[in-house]
Structure 1
Amino acid sequence: MGFTTLGFFFILFPDDDSTIITKTKQKSNLSSFKSINTLLKPSNSTHLFPKAQFIISICVLLIFITLLLFTISTFEPSNIQLSTNSVPHKSKSSSFQQHALQKMGFLYRKGTKSMNDLIIAHVSESVTLQELKLFTRLILRSKITSKSDLLFIFPSKSIPFDNTIIQENNSFLKILSKYKKNNSTSIFDPTHFLTRPKNANESEEPIWGRKKMSNFSEENDNTESTRLSYGSVIGFYADELDPENSLNGFMDHVPMNLRRWACYTMLLGRVRRNFKHVILVDVKEILLLGDPLSRVKNLSQDSVVISTVTQSNHRRKNVEKNHSKKQANPAIIMGGLRGVRRLSNAMLIEIVRESMQRKKKNSVTESVLLSQLVGNEFILKNVELISGESIVELSSLTELDKKSGSLVMSLLKYSMVRRGNSNVDISSVFKKYLCSFPLESTAYSDC
């Protein structure tokens, strides 16, 4: 048994002492030889066994420690435990224990297959827990998540937000599973989430998380005539996508609605070969109820649809001279990934340029900048801009009955709506309506 030498120590002595060192070394070697010779003599056999047993024990212990250290060093950190910064307490989802992409982000739900479309929802600092819950609940139930991945960008860590998304996802999967088995009474339409395999591409694994991982749904059986189809749900912090806080040097405080454009630069660059279409949506302003991407499916990858917002300007003296002005709506932008990526890069440059020209660094308005950018054909010459219609706002639906059922049924006719400044508590309206169905009442914990 030999011992592995981990290092060498070199000691230099003057030439005059070489003779002394040589004699000392010879005496040491001779002494060692005599000790070994004495140990191996038959006359001393009574002392041989205890010494040999001690040496063997030391060797076995060293081998065990070496194997233990080698085994631990071969494990990846993500397979053992993620840092406490990315894992919320009491997480109910095993998929959330892993990174989403290249050791960044976190995976709330792994989808059943790779998707062509991506929804990027940014959460501003003013978003409340109820607003996030309603947005997540409605978008998971809409048909768009049956063929799209959903990605959240957060300004900072928030365990309540994380747990809310996990809870809503678990409730959705519970509804989907029970409806598939029992066809329970519900407003929920599962047909968009039940598909038949058409080709090999549909079975490709999502890019998010570790590979060769079983799907969330235990009911997903490929031997059946139909199988479940839903996208992944992912989350990123802004510091992961924009670690340098690119706009920090140009303004005193960088709000999330501006910093998100710097996040898009990195994110869309990394997934540009994995998706064809993308939606940029503001959780605070927009509720997705259907599939707004259906209108851009047949457009080129350079196309970008910009919706408008009508802002009224009232004059105090002459009411008859009231006029309205349309501005580009930054709350939702959709189109081909290549076009949206180019628009995002141009928007980031526009924010920097405008910040450098203004004396007040925090006076940059996102909607004004986007309107200016859309009106500049030279900067966006490689982007095919398409003007979209104005999005209906809750406050404009004055003809609706105040009863929750009437309001919800009317809203579900639209693919998306703006929250706006409506006095209606839309979260309570949807909660009351959904909880009136037996399936939803057992799945949602707040019913």
Structure 2
Amino acid sequence: MGIFLILFPDQQIHSTNDNHSILKKKPVNFNLFSPSFSLPSSLKRTNSSNLLYKAQSAIYICALLLFTSLLLFTISTLPSTTTSAARRNYHQPRRQLNGISSSGRNSSPHALQGMGTLYRRGTRAMNDLIVAHAVESLSSHEFKLFLRLLHRSGTTSKSDLLFVFPSKSAVFDRAIQEENDYFMKLVDRYNTINTVQSNNYSSSFPSFKPTHFVKNINKSKHTGEPIWGRRTRSNLSEEDGTESRRLSYGSVVGFDVGELDPESSLSGFLDHIPMSLRRWACYPMILGRVRRNFKHVTLVDMKEVLLLDDPFDKIRGTTMESVLVTTQYSNEKQGRRSRNPNKVQRLAIPTVIIGGDRGVRRLSDLMLMEIVRTSIQKKRRNSVTESALFNQLVGSPLVLQKVKLIVSTESIPELSSAISKANYGVVKRGNANVDVNYILMKLICSSPVESTVYNDCYG
């Protein structure tokens, strides 16, 4: 703070006269740079006292301002520091939770780059990825059945499982946690009995083989850590020996469409966007982020399809651009009549797609472009269906240029025929009038071991 010093010259000089006193004004020379400049003695005394007083006042004011500024700064910073500390203390215990609590999905750690939910972190990096999406009409019982059969099939011993949900659902969160607990109890229960008993108890359909989840891990080889969640230090290098028998199972993660497609990319082209179409707008982001981490990818609709065995066995040994698409007769589900009655028409179905990582990513990108292109050409914005678009895309020469398409002539069997033969890896749920849950749970609970693991076994 600057201090301004103002000098006031004495302009009143008294002189005596015989008749009266006359006040005369004498100019004072203020040429400070002149060597002959001098001040009157009275002015020196007056100004010295005034200057001393003003200097003291200025010092006091500066000290007061400085003290006030420091006090205000200290007070203003105290609440933010306290809030930050409170936030750190609030979030710290929540990061350490691995299960689903009553507060919902936020209690679980993120799956990838601050997005998604990590329900279970696998034991190692996997080469295969199953991406299962839930449509709006999927019930909790159907979801639990899909997940239970998938765990029992042994597929999760070699694959990671990724769910795509229409929205956040505490019901699905609890179902995932329950089935994960059932799976771990089932593996532990079978490990406590001998091999003969295990073979006898696993005769029920669909059979559970605990040997799928026990691997001989060579410590000299680097198996790699899962890409999901935070990286942890592996204990394999700290143990003696060259080989160890360990559990091997993949990670279970989940994402909402709002995380993978936050801008709702198709909202400008369609009035109503069902999950069957919006899922194609989610694949480019998630598959692009995990590219080169997986060799094979399966896209599956949990409402229509159940996995009883490893679906990747059909494409082992193919190139990364290969994609397997299944077909079915047109009168099975489409209800259309062929123009030529003597010619049977087969249509590709998008409920299950299996292929190499590169081929599935390219096919999903082309499908998204096909949805946008067709919606622009259509006069009615809601006349676009996934089945029609997928068949239109499969027959396009553009797909053949970028994807090595493998069209299977075998239809996916229904669950009733799969139960009788028990040699199918992918089945359809089939007739809605048949209580699939009751039939399968009756078969699963026929095992003495499994009936003690699942709490919902029928009495």
TM-score band, normalised by shorter chain: 0.7 to 0.9
Which residue does 1:403 correspond to in 2? none
Counterpart of 2:265 in structure 1 is: 246
TM-score normalized with structure 1 length: 0.76
- In structure 2, the partner of 1:126 is 137
CA contact (8 A) 2:323 2:354 kept: yes
Counterpart in the other structure of 2:298: 279
Once the two structures are overlaid, the 10-residue window that deviates more, 425-434 or 334-343, is 425-434
Deviation digits for residues 185-225 of structure 1 (CA, Å, limit 9, x no counterpart): 5322111111101365554210101111789xxxxx99884
1:72 to partner: Cα distance: 3.0
The question of 1:421 aligning with 2:443 is answered: no
Tell me, in whole angstroms, the C-alpha distance in 1 between the residues paired with 2:52 and 2:396. Answer: 87
In 2, the alpha carbon distance for the partners of 1:315 and 1:256 equals 22
Give the SS at the match of 2:427.
strand
Does the CA-based 8 Å contact 2:306-2:429 persist in structure 1? yes
Number of corresponding residues = 389
Q: Which amino acid aligns with 1:90?
A: S
Matched residues in 1 for 2:435 and 2:51: separation? 92
Q: Does 1:259 align with 2:278?
A: yes
Selected match of 1:146 from 141, 148, 157:
157
2:378 is the alignment partner of 1:344: no
Deviations, residues 229-272 of structure 1 (Å, cap 9, x unaligned): 00000100000000001001111111111000110010000000
Aligned match of 1:36: none
Q: Distance in 1 between matches of 2:246 and 2:147?
A: 23
Query: What is the aligned partner in structure 1 of residue 102 from structure 2?
Result: 90
* 3-state SS, counterpart of residue 226 of structure 1: strand
Distance 1:282 1:227 in 2: 32
Structure-2 change in CA distance of 1:316 and 1:442 (3 Å)? closer
Match of 1:99 among 92, 110, 113: 110
Q: State the shift of 1:295 in Å.
A: 2.1
Task: List alignment gaps of at least 5 residues for structure 2.
Answer: 8-46, 64-70, 203-207
Match of 1:81 in 2: 94
Deviations 1:315-370 (A, max 9, x none): 9999x947542111100001111110000000000001111111221111111111
CA distance, structure 2, for counterparts of residue 411 and residue 250 of structure 1: 45
1:433 is aligned to 443
Mapping of residues 320-335 of structure 1, within 5 Å = 321=341, 324-335=344-355
Amino acid paired to 1:437:
S
C-alpha separation in 1, matches of 2:142 and 2:168: 17
Which of these residues, 291, 305, 309, is aligned with residue 290 of structure 1? Answer: 309
SS of 2:172's equivalent in the other structure is helix
**Does the alignment pair 1:165 with 2:176?**
yes
Return 414-423 or 194-203, whichever deviates more: 194-203
The one-letter amino acid paired with 2:281 is A
Alpha-carbon spacing, 1:29–1:390, altered in 2? closer, same or farther (3 Å): same
Equivalent residues of 2:320, 2:356 under 8 A apart: yes
Counterpart-to-counterpart distance in 2, 1:21 and 1:81: 65
Partner residue of 2:166 out of 146, 155, 159: 155
* 1:133-156 CA-partner distances (Å, limit 9, x unpaired): 100000011121110000000000
Q: CA deviation at 1:169?
A: 0.9
Contact 2:330 2:336 in 1 (8 A): no
CA contact (8 A) 1:334 1:340 kept: yes
Counterparts of 1:412 and 1:143 in 2: how far apart (Å)? Answer: 15
Inter-partner Cα distance in structure 2 for 1:325 and 1:349: 26
2:37 matched to 1:26? Answer: no
Contact 2:127/2:293 (8 A) holds in 1: yes
- Are 2:216 and 1:196 equivalent residues in the alignment? yes
Q: Secondary structure at the match of 2:397?
A: coil
Q: Is the 8 A contact 1:301 1:338 kept in 2?
A: yes
Provide the rounded CA distance (Å) in 1 between the counterparts of 2:377 and 2:53.
Answer: 83
What SS does structure 2 have at the residue aligned with 1:330?
strand
Counterpart mapping for 1:406-417 below 5 A = 408=419, 410=420, 412-417=422-427
For the 8 Å contact 1:99–1:209, the answer to whether it is kept is yes
CA shift in 2, pair 1:421/1:28, >3 Å? same
Compared with structure 1, are the counterparts of its residues 257 and 30 closer, same or farther at alpha carbon in structure 2 (3 Å cutoff)?
Answer: closer
Percent identity reads 46
Aligned to 1:312, the other structure's residue is in SS state helix
Q: Verify the 8 A CA contact 1:395 1:422 in the aligned structure 2.
A: no
Out of 403, 407, 423, the position equivalent to 1:383 is 403
Cα separation, 1, equivalents of 2:83 and 2:335: 77
1:17-65 Cα offsets, whole Å, 9 max, x none, are: 9x999955524647999xxxxxxxxxxxxxxxxxxxxxxxx9xx99xx7
- 1:138–1:24: structure 2 CA closer, same or farther, 3 Å change rule? farther
Gap change, CA 1:76 and 1:139, over 3 Å in 2: farther
Which of 127-136 and 19-28 deviates more?
Answer: 19-28
SS at match of 2:225: coil
Q: Which ranges in structure 1 are unaligned for 5 or more consecutive residues?
A: 1-10, 34-57, 216-220, 398-406
Which of 374, 379, 382 lines up with 1:359 in the alignment? 379
SS in 2 for 1:166: helix
Counterpart residue type for residue 366 of structure 1: E
Q: CA deviation at 1:178?
A: 1.2
1:212 pairs, out of 219, 229, 232, with 232
For each residue in 1:364-401, what CA deviation from the matched residue of structure 2 results, as whole angstroms up to 9, or x when unmatched?
1111111111111234411111112434332773xxxx
RMSD across aligned C-alpha pairs, in angstroms?
4.0
